[in-house]
Structure 1
Amino acid sequence: MQYNQVILLKNGVECCLRNGMESDAQAVLDNFHLTHGETDYLLTYPDENCFDVMQESQFLKEKLESEHEIEIVALVGNAIVGTAGIEAVGKKYKIRHRAEFGVSVAKEFWGLGIGRALTAACIECAKAAGYIQLELNMVAGNTRAFAMYQKAGFVEYGRNPKGFHSRSTGFQEVIYMRLEL
């Protein structure tokens, strides 16, 4: 699945949204470590990343060649400042209509429209891939993300009061959201 779009951020700077490529592996890993260390709202901590550069490169290659999954990078200048992707929930008949969605943006670039643009790009790609439902999990305290997802059309369908166990704050309530495509 291919994606490439240039958007204008709220600060007037251009941002390129495109497929992550094998050559982006180190920059994607660096962005992962940065973003996952800047907030307690993401699924993992930087030290829980199990990919090395070769594995990340292979992951990006597979997403680039996939007809049903994608990993999109957001570039400002030559720097990757965010990533987002869709991944099949499974290949079995009963669940192959569903995809999971995730996004992260470097804190320095919050509030400029990158998260919203990456979300819209993933929705577009999920529709093109033939999915009927796009899903995400998010920490209830992340009110800015919740508002963004609601604006994009996602609706809450459940909560888990002990969905995440944060190293710093203890249990975090997780909200399950879905979007019918």
Structure 2
Amino acid sequence: MRYRRDVVLKDGNACLLRSAEASDARECFDVFQVAHAETDYLLTYPDENSLDEGRFADELAGRAESPRCVEVCAVVGGKIVGTASVDPIGRRFKNRHRCELGISILCAYWGRGIGRALMEACLECARQMGYGQAELEVVADNARAIGLYRSLGFVEFGRNPLAFRSRMSGWQEVVLMRLEL
């Protein structure tokens, strides 16, 4: 799916939200690697990424043309500073109405409204793609993210106390959240 929207951030700067393209692979890959090194709230560590730039470019090209997926990047000052995605949870009749959202933003850009803008873009795309429910997982200690998701209408539907095993802090509880679209 293709997406494009201009937003004004809390600090007054312009931010372009747009579908990531294959030509963005190097920059998106670098943002992914840095963002995953900066915080312990994301699913993977940089050394666990199995995609190389070429495969990442193919993935982004496929997402741009997919009727069921999207990768939205946030561009500030000509630089990609974060990404968010919508992916199907399943393709079978019983679960094809459900999608999963994921987001990562460079720490230097936290608190400017980029997370909200990316999440709103993903929810808009999910609705356009015909999903009936958006889901996400968030580390229970990530109060800022949980507050954002709740403000967008997400509700908690469960917890997994041993969901993530952090290299830095041991076990991390994950909150399961959903939003009917």
Q: Which of the five TM-score ranges fits, normalised by the shorter chain?
A: over 0.9
Cα shift readout 1:121-172 (whole Å, capped 9, x = no counterpart): 0000000000000000010000000000000010000001111000010000
Distance in 1 between residues matched to 2:46 and 2:6, nearest whole Å: 29
Counterpart position of 1:148: 148
Counterpart position of 2:93: 93
Q: Distance in 1 between matches of 2:156 and 2:15?
A: 30
Paired residue secondary structure (1:121): helix
How far apart in 2 are the matches of 1:100 and 1:60? 17
Quote the RMSD (CA, aligned, Å): 0.5
| Equivalent residue number for residue 11 of structure 2 | 11
Equivalent residue number for residue 47 of structure 1: 47
State the 1:117 CA deviation: 0.3
Percent identity of equivalent pairs: 50
Trace 1:98-137 onto structure 2 (pairs within 5 A). Answer: 98-137=98-137
Please tell me the residue identity of whatever aligns with 1:86: V
Cα shift at 1:38:
0.6
Q: Which residue of 1 aligns with 2:57?
A: 57
| Offset, 1:78 | 1.7
Structure 1 equivalent of residue 70 of structure 2:
70
Q: Which amino acid aligns with 1:28?
A: C
Aligned position for 1:35: 35
TM-score normalised to structure 2 length: 0.99
Q: Distance in 1 between matches of 2:78 and 2:47?
A: 25
Secondary structure of 1:25's aligned partner: helix
**Distance of 1:106 and 1:144 partners within structure 2:** 15
- Normalised by the size of structure 1, how large is the TM-score? 0.99
Letter in 1 for 2:178: R
Does 2:178 match 1:178? yes
- Residue 143 of structure 2 aligns to which amino acid in structure 1? T
Shift in Å at residue 68 of structure 1? 1.3
Q: Post-superposition shift, 1:107?
A: 0.4
Runs (4+) of structure 1 moved beyond 2 Å? none
Q: Which runs of 5+ in 1 are unaligned?
A: none
Q: Name the SS for the 1:112 alignment partner.
A: coil
State the secondary structure of the residue aligned to 1:165: strand
State the alpha-carbon separation in 2 of the partners of residues 103 and 157 from structure 1. Answer: 20
- Distance in 2 separating the partners of 1:46 and 1:148: 25
SS of match in other structure, 2:23: helix
